[in-house]
Amino acid sequence: MTVLADPPPPGAPAGQWWPPQVLLPEWLEAHADDFDLVHVHFGIESYSPDELRATVATLRRLGRPLVYTVHDLENPQLTSQESHRASLAVLAAGADALIALTDTAGASVRELTRRPVTVIAHPTLLGDAPRPTGDAHDAVRVGVHLRDLRPNIDGVGTTATLVRAVAALRAHGARVEAVVRMNERVRDAEAAASIALLAEGADAVTVERGSRLDDDALSSWLADLDACVLPYRHGTQSGWAELCYDLAVPVVSTPVGHIAAQHPADFHAYDMGDPVSLARAIMDATGPASSSPGSAQRCAEVERRRAERRAELDRVRASHVAVYRGALAAEVAA
Give yes or no on whether 21-119 and 140-298 have one common fold: yes
pLDDT over 80 (residue 333): no
| Helix, strand, coil abundance in the chain, percent, nearest 5 | 45, 15, 40
Q: What is the pLDDT of residue 331?
A: 78
pLDDT over 90 (residue 332): no
Q: C-alpha angle 54/60/65, rounded to 5°?
A: 110
Q: Which residues does 131 contact at the CB level (< 8 Å), separation at least 6?
A: 219, 223, 246, 247, 302, 306
> How do the domains of the chain map onto residue ranges?
21-119, 140-298
Mean pLDDT, rounded, of the chain: 96
Beta bridge partners of 100: 119
Answer whether 238's CB lies under 8 Å from 262's CB.
yes
Mean pLDDT of 276-285: 98
Mean pLDDT of 218-232: 98
Mean pLDDT of 147-170: 98
pLDDT over 90 (residue 271): yes
Q: What is the pLDDT of residue 97?
A: 98
Rg of the chain on CA atoms, in Å: 21
Topology of domain 140-298 in CATH is: Rossmann fold (3.40.50)
Q: What is the pLDDT of residue 15?
A: 84
Beta bridge partners of 268: 252
pLDDT over 90 (residue 63): yes
Question: pLDDT grade, residue 334 (50/70/90)?
Answer: low
Query: At 333, which helix (H) or strand (E)?
Result: helix 296-333
Q: Which CATH class is domain 21-119?
A: alpha beta
pLDDT over 80 (residue 163): yes
Amino acid at 155: G
